[in-house]
Amino acid sequence: MTASELTPPPQQAIVDCVNPQRFYIDGAWQQAEAPASFDVVNPATECVLGQIAMGNAHDVDRAVAAARRAFPGFAGTSVEARAALLERIHALMLQRADELALALSLEMGVACTYARAAQVPLAAEHVRVAREALLAYPFLQRHGTTAVAREAIGVCGLITPWNWPLYQITAKMAPAIAAGCCVVLKPSELSPYSALMFAQLMHDAGVPPGVFNLVNGSGPEVGAAMAEHPGIDMISITGSTRAGVLVAQAAAPTVKRVTQELGGKSPNLMLPDTDFARAVPLGVAAAFRNVGQSCSAPTRMIVPRNALRQVEELACQAAAALIVGDPMSPDTTLGPIANRAQFERVQQMIAVGLEDGARLLCGGLGRPDGLATGFYARPTIFSSVRTQMRIAQEEIFGPVLCILPYDTVEEAIAIANDTVYGLGAHVQGTDVAQARAVAGRIRAGQVLINHPAWDPFAPFGGYKLSGNGREYGRHGLEEYLETKAILGFGEA
C-alpha cells in the first residue's frame, strides 16, 4: 500500500457521511428522543472530531419495540435468505474497507495500515464465517421419535467496546442474524463512527426494518436500560469485568441469557526448548498489537530464568523496531492510546511497576520523544517481575509487557494460572507433545501453541473473571439459539 493510497480525505468527510445526531431504528435514521451530545475526540490530535447524540431508556424502548415487531417474520426466514443477507453485508464491508479503516483510525487511533490489514478484514471474516456456520448447521435433529430443534433466542442486546469497534460488532451481529435474531446495538460512545457507518452498510445491504437497530449512549444509561429491558431476551457484552458484572446484575430480574467476553491478563509461557529468536519478537508483537489494547494480549511473558538475559535482549530489540506516531502515516506501527482515560491508566500502571521494583528495560513514563500532543505511550517492557506485582495481575490495556522468570515448568504453569482471568494464553516450545500437555493445564478459553495463524472458526471466550459463553464459528452461532425438544415427532 502506497502513501498516496493512505492519504485520507478531510476528516470531516467521515464525520459527515454518517448520521451522528440520529439513531438507526426500524429501518430508518431517526432523531434521538431527547438528544444530549457527546464529544468524539481524535486521540492523535486531542481535538474534537464531532458530536454524537446520546440516547436514553426511551430510545431503547423504541428500538426494542421495532425488533420485537420484526422478530417473528425474520425468525421464520429460510437459511438461504439469511445467508444471502450475510453475503451482501460481507461484500459491502470489503467494498467500503478504506472508508471503514479511516473511521477507525480517526476515532480510536489505530494505525491506518493496521486498520486496513487487520481490523476491517478480520471483522468481515466474522460475517463470512457466520454464513458458513449457518449453511452447515443442523437446526433440527431426530433421535428416535424425538426431535431437537434449535431456534432463534429472540431480541438480542449487543454491547461492544472501543478497542476493536467494528470487529466486535460483527462478532456478535453476524451469528445473531444467522440464527434469525433481531438486534439492538449499543457501540462504545468513544469510537462510534465506524458503528454508524456499519449501520448505513446494513441498511444498504437490505436488512429488513427492525432486524438491526443502533442506539448510541453510555453504559450506565443505554447499556443498563438494555440489560434490564423485559423485551430483550439476551445480552452479549464485550468490555471490562466490572461492566460485565453490572450488566449481569441488571439482567438478573428478567432471567435473560447473558454472555460476556471480559478482561484478560494472558500468559505467554516459553518452555526451556523454545526457539527464543523466533518466539520472543512474535510475543512482543502480539502483546503490543493494537497498542496493547486487546483483552487477550499476551502481556505476561513467562521464561526460563537461565534464558532471561537472552529474552530481554530480543524483547528490547523488537520493541525498538516499533514506530509510534501519526496513525495516518504508512510507516507507523503503533498509533496513540484510544482515549485520555486509558492513556492516564497506562501511565499510572507504568508508575506502579516502577514503584513496586520491577526492572524497566525500555519505555517508561510519558510520551515518546517528538510527540508532545496525542495520547501516545512508550512501548514499555519490565523484567524481573514477580507474579504478586500489580502489573502482573491487573489488565493494563496498553503497550506494557511483563517478563517473569521461572525455574521449573511446574512453577511456570502456576504463574500462568495465577490470575483472576482466563481468556487467552500462549505456549511456546519445539517439543509439541510437551507444549500440548502444558496447554491442557492452563485455565484459559483459548490457548495458542507456537503462534499459529488466526482461526476464525475457533471458539473464543473466557474462564474465571474473563466471562462466559463463546464467540466465533459454530459455537458463536449456538449462543443465539434456544433448544426445543419435540417428543412424539415421529420416525425419520
Task: Determine the residue type at 282.
Answer: L
Could you give the residue numbers annotated as active site?
261, 295
In terms of Cα–Cα distance, which of 102, 127, 109 is closest to 41? 109
8 Å CB contact between 381 and 319: yes
Question: Which strands make up the sheet holding 257-261, listed edge to edge?
Answer: 28-31, 22-25, 212-214, 182-186, 155-159, 234-238, 257-261, 467-468
Region for residue 235 given its phi and psi (left: phi exceeds 0; alpha: psi -120 to 50; beta: otherwise): beta
3-state secondary structure of 306: helix
8 Å CB contact between 336 and 374: yes
Cβ of 183: how many Cβ atoms within 10 Å?
26
End-to-end CA gap in the chain: 56
In terms of Cα–Cα distance, which of 161, 213, 153, 209 is closest to 183? 213
Angle at 471 between CA 61 and CA 180, to 5 degrees: 50
Region for residue 472 given its phi and psi (left: phi exceeds 0; alpha: psi -120 to 50; beta: otherwise): left
Task: Determine the residue type at 471.
Answer: E
Helices 79-95 and 193-204 pack at an angle, to 10 degrees, of 130
> How far, in Å, CA of 7 to CA of 316, rounded?
32
Task: Determine the residue type at 225.
Answer: A
- For residue 225 the three cell numbers come to 436500560
Residue 488 exposed, middle or buried by CB count within 10 Å (0-12, 13-18, 19+): exposed
> How far, in Å, CA of 435 to CA of 447, rounded?
10
Q: Among the residues of 394-489, which ranges form H helices?
A: 409-417, 432-439, 473-478
- For residue 454 the three cell numbers come to 488466526
- Judging by DSSP bridges, how do beta strands 182-186 and 155-159 pair with one another? parallel
With cell 500462568, the residue in question is 416
